[in-house]
Amino acid sequence: MLQETEKRLRKGRLKQIAQKANIVFLNTKQKIFINSKAKRKTLLAGRAFGKTYLMLICIGYIAKLLPRARFFLAGRTFKQVLDIVLNDSTDAWGSLGWYEYHEKVNPYGNYVLFKEPPPDWPRAYKAPKTYERCVTFDSGFCLQLLSFEKPDSNRGHNFDGGFIDESALFKTEWVSKILMATLYRANTWRFKGSPLHNAFYDFTSNPWFASGQWVFETEELMKTNPEKYLFLEGTAYDNPMLSPEYVTNMQETTAPLVFRVEVLNERLGKLPNCYYPSFEIEKHCTTNTFAYDQNADGIWLPTFSDYDRTKALEVSLDFNNYICSGIVCQEVPNKLKVLNNIYVKQSKPNKTLAESLAIAIHEAYPDHVKKDIIVYGDASASSKSAGSNTTFFAQVFAELRRLGWKVIPRVLKSNPEHKDRFALIDRILAEGGTTLPRLRINQNTCKALIISMQNSPIIGNMQKDKSSEGTSLQQEYATHLSDCLDYILYYKYSSTKLKSSGIHRIRWIGGG
């Protein structure tokens, strides 16, 4: 009887505390984020926007609205997520009426850190085996902290949703193969209809490394399904509670590149040690590539204005066993236009991956009039592919000819020195000479090529770092497509700078 009285008194006290609390200050963009019913949300914001505070408010709300659910909070290291809970949660959760429980100091508290909750509190439906890395609430909600020092240790869980802090530090395979695999497995019938069940939110600043580019996937998904996906960007300027001197002080005390990326939330154009130091999106890329006509019904029909159906196509190809890729170009006086990037990761029935690439190129230009195609590539692609007795190029040539194209090979027989290739390409991009063409890339169709160029590091002896190939990074964003650009630029224009730059003539397959 005494125990039941204590429970009623405790619940009454908690209600009083909650009524005095629930004072949450959110800026406009934070309100947009928290009010959205999308299950998948990404917040990309610079320093002092309030990412951590918003994430904790989301956790606090879900702890109230999904009693007995179990979510994860994932970080690159355990220290990262531990600091969040220990340093920032008190104020955020306190504003929602959540206070830390201590048996003697605060017996009216309603969440417990890193230990088993009181025996009279409800447990999560999928309760953890141990609570040493958990925050539990008296609603039965459980927040389990995950770290990725040892990624495989996080396999096999069942969660009702989750959060990632600084998601750009994560590899895409950690998300797709480990974290996402823990969702959609538990309690669907218990939380049927709730937009919070199986919610998955990540919070980050702009990625510094190519492996973090996956955070932009939500931006692309939102374009086709805005009810399910939300991608939101913000800066310190969105935080009205911030000192007006904050941004000024940061600018004065922070390196310019760090300030632009981490404070102003600018997307990193290219790595600081990029293989293409003279590449500039504003100069070398263009979005003005469409012409528009209205048909008899008044419908606008866009066509590419940078593409000539009566002129030969020039393609440069790169082959691997897991992706085959290429770029499509046309040359006009003093300019090489990159019209498209094309890649395939899965072969068509009864076709090799290389043959599937040839088919993809053909299907991209079904109405081309002058069916001449000049094919460039490097010497290594003259080797035989896995599962075939013919070379990659032989497969492509045969397939294109079968589809009605006249093929003109321009394949390197031996690869140039690293320093020679780098010197020529950088000279072209710098646009410092009159004998070399201007490079112009269609930004509407060549996103993967641009990202590939931006995220191609340089290592010793002017050599491109190709460690991204075959890793967890989406392979269209690895260095394959940038290699395609290198091949065609070197083949077409190295002879124009033989004397001035010291580039040595090399041999080609197919003339030149």
How does DSSP assign 253-309, residue by residue?
Answer: HS-HHHIIIIIS-PPP-S-TTBS-TT--HHHHEES--EEEEE-TTS-EEEEETT--T
Higher pLDDT, 203 or 501: 203
pLDDT 10s digits, 246-297: 988 888 877 566 788 888 998 877 677 899 999 988 899 988 888 777 666 5
Helix/strand/coil percent split, the chain, to 5: 35, 20, 40
pLDDT of residue 357: 97
Cα–chain center distance at 259: 21
What's the CATH number of domain 281-509, 1.10.287, 3.30.420, 1.10.260, 2.60.40?
Answer: 3.30.420
At 197 the three-state DSSP class reads: coil
Span of 59-63, 418-422, 433-437, 454-458 with lowest mean pLDDT? 433-437
Averaged pLDDT for residues 46-72: 94
pLDDT of residue 15: 45
Name the percent of the chain lying above pLDDT 90: 52
Tell me, what amino acid is at 327?
Answer: I
Averaged pLDDT for residues 154-175: 90
CATH 3.40.50.280 for domain 24-94+122-244: no
Q: Predicted confidence band at 81 (pLDDT cuts at 50, 70, 90)?
A: confident
Higher pLDDT, 211 or 136: 136
- 163 has a pLDDT exceeding 70: yes
d(CA 87, CA 77): 16
Q: Predicted confidence band at 155 (pLDDT cuts at 50, 70, 90)?
A: confident
- 325 has a pLDDT exceeding 60: yes
- 336 has a pLDDT exceeding 90: yes
d(CA 474, CA 85): 32
d(CA 199, CA 183): 9
pLDDT of residue 2: 43
Q: Of all helices (H) and strands (E), which one includes residue 93?
A: helix 78-94
pLDDT of residue 23: 66
Q: Predicted confidence band at 444 (pLDDT cuts at 50, 70, 90)?
A: confident
CATH 3.40.50.300 domain locations along the chain: 24-94+122-244
Higher pLDDT, 238 or 7: 238
For all residues of the chain together, what is the average pLDDT? Answer: 85
- Residue 349 CB neighbours (<10 A): 5
Name the percent of the chain lying above pLDDT 70: 87
Averaged pLDDT for residues 296-306: 70
pLDDT of residue 297: 55
Q: Predicted confidence band at 300 (pLDDT cuts at 50, 70, 90)?
A: low
- 359 has a pLDDT exceeding 50: yes
Q: Predicted confidence band at 495 (pLDDT cuts at 50, 70, 90)?
A: confident
d(CA 153, CA 149): 9
pLDDT 10s digits, 384-443: 655 567 899 999 999 999 999 999 999 877 778 888 999 999 999 999 777 899 999 998
Q: What does each C-alpha distance from 411 to 142, 170, 316, 475, 492 come to in angstroms? A: 60, 38, 9, 23, 11
CATH 3.30.420 domain locations along the chain: 281-509
pLDDT of residue 255: 58
d(CA 343, CA 483): 13
Q: Predicted confidence band at 1 (pLDDT cuts at 50, 70, 90)?
A: very low
Averaged pLDDT for residues 112-126: 92
